[in-house]
Structure 1
Amino acid sequence: MTEYLKLSGGASHRNELVQVLARAPVRSQQSLRIVLNLLSSRVGSFILTGHAKPFKSLTRREREAVFLKWKDSSFAAFVSLYKAFHGVSITAVYRDPTCNVHPAVGYPIYDPVRTAPEYTSPRELKDRYKMLTADEVENKHFDVIIIGSGAGGGVCAAELAKSGHSVLVVEQATYLHESELQLFERSAYPALYEQSGAVRTEDGGCVMVAGRAFGGGTTVNYSVSLKLPYTVREEWAKKHGLPHFVSPKFADDLDRVYERIGASTEGIKHNGPNQVMLNGCRYLGYNVFDIPQNTGGHSHECGWCYCGCADGIKNGTMNTWLRDAEAHGAKFLDRTRVLRVLIDKKHCATGVECLVQHDGQSKKIRIHAQRVISSAGSLHTPGVLQRSGLVNTHIGRNLRLHPGSMLFGFFDQPIDMHLGSIVTTFNGDLRSKEGYGLILEIPTISPSFLGSLLPWRGAAKHKELMLRYRFASPLVPLLRDYDSAGTINYDADGDVVINYNLTSDDRKKLVGGMVRTAMIMCAAGAREIHTGQLGMEPFVFREDEEIRVDNPRFQRWKSQIESYGLPTKGNITLVSAHQLGTCRMGDSPANSATKPTGETWEVKNLYVADASLFPTASGVNPMVTTEAIAIHVAASITESLKQSSTEVAQAMAKL
């Protein structure tokens, strides 16, 4: 404790804070500026703090009391202030590579294995992809242009290129070869994630991580490779008019995906947190399963794989489908934002207009194609379509998030959650026979996420907790949201604006998952358990108490989790790594944004192939499902191109 209390921020943390704020959306910066101006005046400070003097003039103890008052406020606006200042401050400190708190908490900010000078990857890395320039593609013609290189775009590129079509993949992010990946948060999040890994809903109630990289989310995800449950497939077929999902062909496509990405439970070695889940579930008699990893059966104990796989073992699209596409002639253009899809008077897509940003220069160009596919993800595909003039009411609606609420257990022995394989176990006992409910998974959590997700209850308490980072283990119940839904819009600067609210029924289900999670933590031997609910104190077993799930004090505390619940005023921060459904497919433009083939209802030859097509939440990590759907979309496009060629040939024959 003494060692930590001596640590100070200084100029390095202030500079890092400036960088964190600079990466935030402009509207967020403007809102923060207004709040800071208010806090700098006597009147504004009195309104926000109750003190008739500027915030900077308050003592440290007074400032801390203000933050804690905001935390416990019955007004959502004050809770949002607390969460905003808490989040940016923690991020600035714990993602600073020069931060001197990392040795104190026992966290090597760089991957200690793969950054060692003598380290050699166990797998020979493939050559760099060749990226084209603006001049090389301007006004050129391709059979297919694909916007995005992730799970949907990568598969479509491979399938269409292998069918003999000329393909151009346009990616907004900068392409980084495996040898260029930097395995520490400060570099990885700005380079590989949307909004540096902290996309927030407008009310701050949910924090999302979304990949923004060459390879999309498959470059940074946690290797989880789960197939779409049949109950969900059946629902999509019966309720949304999509019989393809119960066809043998879709089942075969799921198997094809598994084969190509090497999804397997072989080679799995459970790290500390996953062993905690195994121990707790087995003690309570809950089912617990190994999660197939897309590592080809190779053991991959890399806790930094959310920074990209420097070993080239994780089979994201960059290491699989995009390599297939490249081998069959596909071309690639990175650092390019698609402004709109070009549409002719017959309502047919004919190409894209985009902004290429290479070497500090921006150039607006047009590229032409017979077919255009948007695989920009659930956060950005709606923007591509709307900027192109599409007005279907389901574009940007029906957002599903698989929201979760992180719980943490603190143990008497080191858990070291930053070491070993990231996610290797899951529990699905809380799903109904219809497939709704929750699954429980274990994420890897760095100090910046631990510090920002645990409620801040004062400087001394925060530091005491962070000193026990090595003894902490996370567990998150992920909800298959049933009737909760959100929307995607865009502000004047083009930044995504997300609104999402849980219904009361979904809130109850998630709270039930939190109770189950607390039980598992206790059964596994956690001495202290935190829920993330701002008004809930953690439960702590006394030194002289046996850690037992039937402890009367623990049983009473567990009941308080339910009674406190998930207040609508935002007194808890939800988390999400899955964004789904914002351009869902269906059997009618009255209930969907695209046809069963992935083609938009409004514009011919314009397709969608990403997780935005999901009719509902999938209930499991979406990568495998997205890739299987992309196989279906690519096959539909191949068939349409054949038909077009046949029609042209018939027309020529008549001349």
Structure 2
Amino acid sequence: MAALEGKEKAATGHPLLRVLRRDKYTHGLYPAQMEALRAMCGALIPSLPPEEALDGRRDTPRDKDLERFYLASGADSTIPDEVAELAFTRCVWEAGLLVHVTLWLLCTRLGTLALCGRLCVSGEFPYVRRFADMPVGRREEALRRWTRARWLIPVKIAFAMVKTLCFNVFYTKLNENSENPCLKAIGFSLPNVEEQRKKHPAEAAAPRPLDNGVVETRELDDATLLRSLADKGVAVKPATSGDYHAVECDVVIVGSGCGGGVAAAVLASSGHKVLVVEKGDYFTPDDYSSVEGPSMERLYEQGGVFCTSNVSTVLFAGTAVGGGSAVNWSASIRTPREVLQEWSRDHGLPVFGSAGYVQAMDAVCARLAVTDGCREEGFQNKVVRRGCEALGLPVDSVPRNSSEGHYCGSCYLGCPTGDKRDTDTTWLVDAVKHGAVILAGCKAERFILQNNSDKNGRSKKCVGLVATCMSNGITKKLRIEAKDKDLEAFLDEVTVARGPMQPGTDTWALLCSAHQMGSCRMGSSPMEGAVDGRGESWEAEGLYVCDGSLLPTAVGVNPMITIQSLAYCLSMDIAESLA
């Protein structure tokens, strides 16, 4: 986003990463359904008198923060409205439909009787209570029964979604001072960003390194967008009677993460005009606030609540300039030798057994300044190390793309010190120096395919893509095409499949999945994978994939170095073929 001036930004971070307060919510629920949802949230996080919460421990000193925490409830304020909005705008539609139906049933006495049984029965007229009219203790027992009932799978899914979203909103909701009073009560404190920046003054105070090449579309209109692109050397043609502004380049890359950032640097340095399309915003270390709620909202796909339809797994994926590299924990592990052997031998992909791939890993680790040591370990890491040593198990430090003394504790919300080397501070900087342009706040919608006259086995040819800017002021879409119809289009983002998933176990625990891999894997034939050993689609000439979805199987370790090394190999090969 546009740089902020003055002392306020240095103290608090970018407003988009520290403020997340609204008065209006969109969810489409009826008042009676909202009453049922509020009752459910109130049962999940009930308000407790401090005396009851302390369980008779009179010697406990009075703590106003702790008292406020006990008195707070999931039914307070706008928490249920925000839960409803997240359920119907961020989660898969199947799960949202189950929530809608469940709340509709709980609005009625008959529906409540069917789902809660005798817990809703009263000795007074009308004898059967709606869910919202039940005492909180009985509501809690009903929720517990839902988690155990084998025949209530749809209700169990709806309950799991409401529970997950309710706790997420409760512990990340901010007041007018961008604070959550509950955090202090439970003993959680945010990292001291200013102290960390003092330890790395050069990195934290560095200018915005991509300013010469980034176009931040969110605050632009049609005229200023075209002017900004032209100023950065991109050939543009304004829309006349059609719905598209025409944009010309040599290579267009969708996504700016571990794969796209490397590809942009390699191809731009080879003399090609590269355009990177990134739907997320551009932030620098000075922008990061380490405030969880608004940071998750802006830095993660679907605000960090992107889940499967049975709500058993939450998928974490970065959505900012830098992609997942901007929010990962900096683990930089080379591809294990046995994995490379498996991919090369069993999957027929010689690139993984080549000397070029080893050289690519060396180049990637050098560019990211990967270090092997760590001066200060976190508490949980110290415990794991002591336990391994006590058991006689080998243990070593995980290599990181940061200095040995780096310990900010909030890299998953963007490193506020600038010490971690993301793609937006390394590869994309190299790309911009060689003339690449990054369109931030711009979402790719579809590729433009034409019939392929060349007899190379591919029926289609990719000649461009259509993209939509996130700004309300930009009324036209962008039609990005190659100057000579020989476009090389790279895909650094593959949407995770969002179809129905059946629960595979009766023991439901919330799982988290990061580093999604293999959804568009490489294969030695169309039967083995979606793309060939060069990353090119088997169906469309000129369409390449260069992110974690390429990997034939899970790596078994953090895949960042693997993804960047593979992208380095593939883009070097493409650059050579285009020379």
Q: Same fold (TM over 0.5)?
A: yes
Q: Which residue of 2 aligns with 1:82?
A: 159
Shift of 1:122: 4.8
Q: Which residue of 2 aligns with 1:358?
A: 471
- Deviation per CA, 1:300-339: give whole Å up to 9, x if none: 2111111111211111101100001011111110111111
Which residue identity does 1:189 align to in structure 2? M
- Deviation per CA, 1:344-390: give whole Å up to 9, x if none: 2222211111111225544312011233433333426xxxxxxxxxx
Q: Which residue of 1 aligns with 2:307?
A: 200
Gaps of 5+ in 2: 1-52, 55-65, 121-127, 218-224, 230-235, 237-244, 453-459
Quote the Cα distance in structure 1 between the aligned partners of 2:83 and 2:195: 26
Shift of 1:14: 4.3
Quote the Cα distance in structure 2 between the aligned partners of 1:211 and 1:360: 25
Shift of 1:128: 4.9
Q: Which residue of 2 aligns with 1:368?
A: 481
Q: Which residue of 2 aligns with 1:56?
A: 132
8 Å contact from structure 2 (residues 253, 275) kept in 1? yes
- Deviation per CA, 1:20-68: give whole Å up to 9, x if none: 4465236244432222111111122122222343110110000100111
Quote the Cα distance in structure 1 between the aligned partners of 2:286 and 2:468: 27
Matched, 1:5 2:70: yes
- Deviation per CA, 1:212-271: give whole Å up to 9, x if none: 111110000000111111111111111111011011111111111111111112344111
Matched, 1:176 2:113: no
SS of alignment partner, residue 302 of structure 2: helix
Q: 1:237 to 1:500 in 2, by over 3 A?
A: farther
Shift of 1:182: 2.6
Q: 1:500 to 1:622 in 2, by over 3 A?
A: farther
Q: How does 1:382-421 map to 2 (within 5 A)?
A: none
Matched, 1:575 2:530: no
Q: 2:386 aligns with which of 276, 279, 304?
A: 279
Q: 1:586 to 1:600 in 2, by over 3 A?
A: same
TM-score normalised by length of structure 1: 0.67
Which residue identity does 2:509 align to in structure 1? I
Q: 2:83 aligns with which of 8, 11, 17?
A: 17
Q: Indicate the percent of aligned positions where both proteins have the same amino acid.
A: 32
Quote the Cα distance in structure 2 between the aligned partners of 1:640 and 1:160: 11
Shift of 1:106: 1.1
Q: 1:8 to 1:154 in 2, by over 3 A?
A: same
- Deviation per CA, 1:74-118: give whole Å up to 9, x if none: 24334323322221110011011233221111112x433338998
Q: Which residue of 1 aligns with 2:539?
A: 602
Q: Which residue of 2 aligns with 1:104?
A: 185
Q: 2:442 aligns with which of 336, 340, 343?
A: 336
Q: Which residue of 1 aligns with 2:461?
A: 348
TM-score normalised by length of structure 2: 0.75
Quote the Cα distance in structure 1 between the aligned partners of 2:139 and 2:299: 35
Which residue identity does 2:188 align to in structure 1? Y
Q: Which residue of 1 aligns with 2:559?
A: 622
8 Å contact from structure 1 (residues 7, 100) kept in 2? no
Q: 1:304 aligns with which of 410, 427, 451?
A: 410
Which residue identity does 1:583 align to in structure 2? C
8 Å contact from structure 2 (residues 92, 307) kept in 1? no
SS of alignment partner, residue 168 of structure 1: strand
Which residue identity does 2:167 align to in structure 1? I
Shift of 1:499: 4.1
- Deviation per CA, 1:258-313: give whole Å up to 9, x if none: 11111112344111111011111111122222000101x34221111111112111
Q: Which residue of 2 aligns with 1:385?
A: none
Which residue identity does 1:17 align to in structure 2? V
Q: 1:349 to 1:271 in 2, by over 3 A?
A: same
- Deviation per CA, 1:576-606: give whole Å up to 9, x if none: 1120001101110111100100010111111
Q: 1:359 to 1:273 in 2, by over 3 A?
A: same
8 Å contact from structure 1 (residues 23, 196) kept in 2? no
Shift of 1:193: 0.5
Which residue identity does 1:615 align to in structure 2? P
Q: 1:36 aligns with which of 103, 109, 127?
A: 103
SS of alignment partner, residue 68 of structure 1: helix
Quote the Cα distance in structure 2 between the aligned partners of 1:94 and 1:55: 25
Q: Which residue of 1 aligns with 2:549?
A: 612
Quote the Cα distance in structure 1 between the aligned partners of 2:267 and 2:171: 44
Q: 1:186 to 1:365 in 2, by over 3 A?
A: same
Q: How does 1:484-633 map to 2 (within 5 A)?
A: 488=497, 496-497=498-499, 499=501, 568-569=505-506, 571-633=508-570
Q: 1:39 to 1:116 in 2, by over 3 A?
A: farther
Quote the Cα distance in structure 2 between the aligned partners of 1:18 and 1:498: 20
Q: Which residue of 2 aligns with 1:91?
A: 168
| RMSD of aligned Cα (Å) | 2.3
Quote the Cα distance in structure 1 between the aligned partners of 2:488 and 2:197: 44
Shift of 1:180: 2.1
* The 10-residue stretch of structure 1 (154-163 or 35-44) with the greater mean CA deviation from structure 2: 35-44
Shift of 1:622: 0.9
8 Å contact from structure 2 (residues 196, 408) kept in 1? no
SS of alignment partner, residue 240 of structure 1: coil
Q: Which residue of 2 aligns with 1:47?
A: 114
Matched, 1:317 2:423: yes
Relative to total residues, which structure has the larger strand share, 1 or 2? Answer: 1
Between Structure 1 and Structure 2, how many residues are aligned?
461
Gaps of 5+ in 1: 381-487, 489-495, 502-566, 643-655
* The 10-residue stretch of structure 1 (371-380 or 627-636) with the greater mean CA deviation from structure 2: 371-380
Which residue identity does 1:100 align to in structure 2? P
Q: 1:377 aligns with which of 481, 484, 493?
A: 493
Which residue identity does 1:336 align to in structure 2? C
Q: 1:316 to 1:497 in 2, by over 3 A?
A: farther
Shift of 1:72: 2.1
Q: Which residue of 2 aligns with 1:210?
A: 317
Which residue identity does 2:463 align to in structure 1? T
Q: 1:260 to 1:301 in 2, by over 3 A?
A: same
Which residue identity does 2:109 align to in structure 1? R
8 Å contact from structure 1 (residues 161, 167) kept in 2? yes
Q: Which residue of 1 aligns with 2:360?
A: 253
8 Å contact from structure 2 (residues 197, 416) kept in 1? no
Quote the Cα distance in structure 2 between the aligned partners of 1:497 and 1:362: 32
